[in-house]
């Protein structure tokens, strides 16, 4: 459905004479298969929906960092740009000290080992690192390589510092996030309130949730004058930016009538290439092919990065020399690879711009992605309860009907979170489950349209007359009541009032045959369907007085 890959299929030609063809022969063609990160093929083939333009990144407010000068900001942003550039690296049992030097040459950045931090973590400077990849961002390559030896990196003072995860967690930064556009809310009486709590709850549940609970010292989030200030490690700051940016884009699309699911972390071109390769049709005859050879063969034949998740496999007791056997003819690579690995209780997952061969359990976690689902159209005029409850109801519906065993409520890896003030649902699960969630919402929308059309046939046109101001005959018995009564006698320009009703109350419906609206003095005459009459009545009631809502009647 909406999550189908909107990609043109790339033609690939079998490489002749490669060493792998003696052990396992692949012939690669093209297909129109729909991919999922879980390695399963979608049974529903549809024409891909073109993506709508996304607001420019410059339009999304950026945080400011306390204690960071303009020069330091420029240095940090330069490092971030370098991390997002594609690189080709080949380290083979390279000591950390040599890695430090060569990484600086490759990236053009200042790189330094946190020697005291490594010593505290019990990691020797002669620890060897190994990784050979190409057409991958420096950011992803570093994550993969350093994770293999229990290390990570932080951006500090315009340089890359290689350190331990524990030490990295101590490099706290204080960031101020502008959120004024996200905190306007209204109570049941229509009074404006400022809702910081909803933004804080969203961030602590969706932006590296475990890190917030582990935060020490003063409260991790403070609100002030349309901003949130938080002191957290760089990873949490980065995730916070990601969540807020995705929410803003989802709201922007929703306001334009586009309710397409939005992936929180967009795929870059390298990940897209992997999914194109997985959608390509293959034929093969594999005989006793070792796992490592299989990964090398996939990389050679498709041109993408394919690796063994060695650490996970070893920890799970899987012999890296395990051999696989199987044949396939004219099927997408993702199906063929899934079948081949399934026989050994293994699977593959795409993560950090690499196709990893790993355990089935780990694949389910590596394949987790987060999508935002706008729900505003499903909330408007809902028959269930009052407006604003759609998210809570939808969480219960999805958790009960879409792959129930995969949700965290009963021990699965998936998560559902309803961001109620913005009518946006955050869903974390595999792409296969995401496809079914999108399909469920699409069918609910289709069903609703059918029901609306059916109801329209029985929604007769009526003429109602509404009086502006308090009910006729209202008498003030005190001076205070008299002042209140005077304030309620609101006067409107007839043309402006008529235009406001037509623009704000079911705007498309006023083009229908037989409907009419006129403002005559302190009377509003409306000829329309019953359902629209109710909305006009409510609109006029809320419009007339900021302090009290007068009931208004009408007759036919």
**479/258 Cα distance (integer angstroms):** 52
Write out the DSSP string of 6-70. --PPPP--PPTT-GGGGTEEEEE----PPP-TTS---S---PPPPPPPPPPGGGS---EETT--H
What CATH class does 19-52+267-366 carry? Answer: alpha beta
Tell me the pLDDT of the chain averaged across its residues.
Answer: 81
- Are residues 7 and 280 in contact, defined by beta-carbon separation less than 8 angstroms? no
Task: Just give the CATH number of 62-168.
Answer: 3.55.50.30
For residue 544, the model assigns a pLDDT of: 67
Question: Any idea where the domains of the chain sit in the sequence?
Answer: 19-52+267-366, 62-168, 179-253, 461-544
- The 10s digit of each residue's pLDDT in 338-353 is 999 998 999 999 999 9
Residue position matching structure tokens 């979170």: 417
Name the pLDDT band for 538 (thresholds 50, 70, 90).
confident
Residue closest to 553 by CA, chosen among 541, 175, 543, 104:
541
Strand, coil or helix: 522? coil
Whether 62-168 and 461-544 share one fold: the answer is no
- How far is residue 474 CA from its own chain's centroid? 54
For residue 22, the model assigns a pLDDT of: 36
Whether pTM > 0.85 for this model: the answer is no
- Are residues 368 and 433 in contact, defined by beta-carbon separation less than 8 angstroms? no
Write out the DSSP string of 166-216. HHHTT--EEEEEE-GGG-EEE-TTS-EEE-HHHHHHHHHHHSSHHHHHH--
Strand, coil or helix: 4? coil
Q: For 357-369, give the secondary structure using H, E and C.
A: EEEHHHHHHHCCE
Q: Using only the alpha carbons of the chain, give its radius of gyration.
A: 30
C-alpha distances in Å from residue 283, one per residue of 319, 326, 329, 428: 26, 11, 4, 34
Contacts of 267 (CB under 8 A, 6+ apart): 275
- The 10s digit of each residue's pLDDT in 179-190 is 998 887 665 555
The fold of 461-544 is Ribosomal Protein S8; Chain: A, domain 1 (3.30.1370)
What's the length of the chain?
A: 556
Name the pLDDT band for 368 (thresholds 50, 70, 90).
very high
Task: Give the whole-number percent of the chain exceeding pLDDT 90.
Answer: 53
pLDDT exceeds 70 at position 369: yes
Lowest-pLDDT choice from 26-35, 149-158, 497-506? 26-35
For residue 489, the model assigns a pLDDT of: 57
pLDDT exceeds 90 at position 206: yes
Residue position matching structure tokens 């946006």: 424
Can you tell me the mean pLDDT for 16-26? Answer: 40
């Amino acid at each position: 459905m909406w999550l189908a890959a909107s990609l043109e299929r790339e033609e690939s030609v079998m490489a002749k004479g490669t060493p792998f063809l003696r052990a396992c022969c692949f012939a690669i063609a093209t297909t129109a298969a729909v991919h999922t990160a879980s390695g399963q093929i979608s049974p529903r083939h549809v024409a891909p929906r073109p993506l709508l333009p996304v607001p420019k990144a410059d339009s999304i407010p950026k945080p400011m960092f306390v204690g960071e000068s303009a020069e330091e900001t420029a240095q940090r942003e330069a490092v971030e740009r370098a991390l997002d550039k594609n690189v080709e690296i080949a380290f083979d049992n390279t000591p950390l000290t040599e890695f430090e030097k060569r990484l600086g040459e490759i990236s053009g950045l200042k790189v330094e080992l946190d020697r005291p931090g490594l010593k505290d973590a019990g990691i020797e400077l002669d620890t060897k690192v190994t990784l050979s990849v190409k057409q991958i961002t420096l950011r992803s390559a570093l994550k993969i390589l350093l994770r293999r030896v229990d290390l990570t990196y932080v951006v500090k003072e315009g340089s890359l510092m290689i350190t331990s995860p524990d030490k990295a967690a101590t490099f706290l930064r204080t960031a101020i996030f502008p959120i004024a556009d996200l905190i306007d809310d209204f109570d049941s009486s229509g009074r404006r309130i400022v809702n910081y709590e909803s933004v804080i709850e969203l961030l602590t549940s969706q932006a590296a949730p475990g890190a917030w609970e582990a935060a020490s010292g003063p409260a991790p989030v403070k609100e002030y004058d349309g901003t949130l200030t938080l002191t957290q490690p760089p990873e949490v700051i980065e995730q916070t930016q990601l969540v807020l940016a995705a929410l803003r884009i989802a709201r922007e699309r929703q306001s334009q009538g586009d309710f397409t699911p939005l992936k929180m972390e967009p795929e870059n071109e390298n990940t897209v290439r992997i999914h194109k390769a997985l959608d390509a049709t293959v034929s093969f005859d594999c005989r006793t092919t070792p796992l490592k050879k299989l990964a090398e063969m996939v990389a050679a034949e498709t041109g993408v990065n394919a690796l063994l998740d060695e650490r996970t496999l070893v920890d799970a007791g899987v012999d890296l020399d395990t051999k696989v056997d199987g044949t396939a003819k004219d099927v997408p690579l993702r199906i063929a690879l899934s079948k081949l690995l399934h026989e050994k209780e293994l699977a593959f997952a795409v993560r950090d711009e690499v196709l990893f061969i790993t355990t089935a359990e780990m694949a389910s976690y590596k394949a987790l992605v987060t999508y935002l689902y706008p729900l505003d159209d499903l909330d408007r005029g809902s028959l269930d309860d009052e407006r604003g409850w759609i998210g809570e109801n939808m969480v219960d519906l999805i958790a009960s009907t879409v792959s129930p065993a995969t949700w965290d409520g009963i021990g699965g890896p998936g998560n559902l979170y309803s961001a109620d003030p913005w009518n946006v649902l955050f869903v974390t699960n595999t792409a296969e489950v995401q496809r079914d969630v999108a399909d469920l919402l699409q069918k609910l929308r289709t069903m609703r349209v059918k029901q609306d059309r059916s109801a329209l046939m029985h929604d007769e046109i009526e003429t109602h007359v509404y009086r502006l101001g308090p009910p006729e005959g209202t008498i003030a018995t005190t001076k205070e009541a008299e002042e209140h009564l005077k304030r309620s006698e609101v006067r409107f320009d007839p043309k402006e009032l008529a235009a406001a009703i037509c623009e704000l109350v079911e705007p498309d419906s006023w083009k229908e045959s037989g409907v009419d609206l006129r403002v005559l003095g302190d009377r509003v005459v409306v000829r329309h369907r019953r359902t629209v009459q109710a909305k006009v009545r409510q609109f006029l009631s809320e419009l007339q007085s900021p302090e009290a809502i007068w009931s208004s009647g009408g007759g036919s």
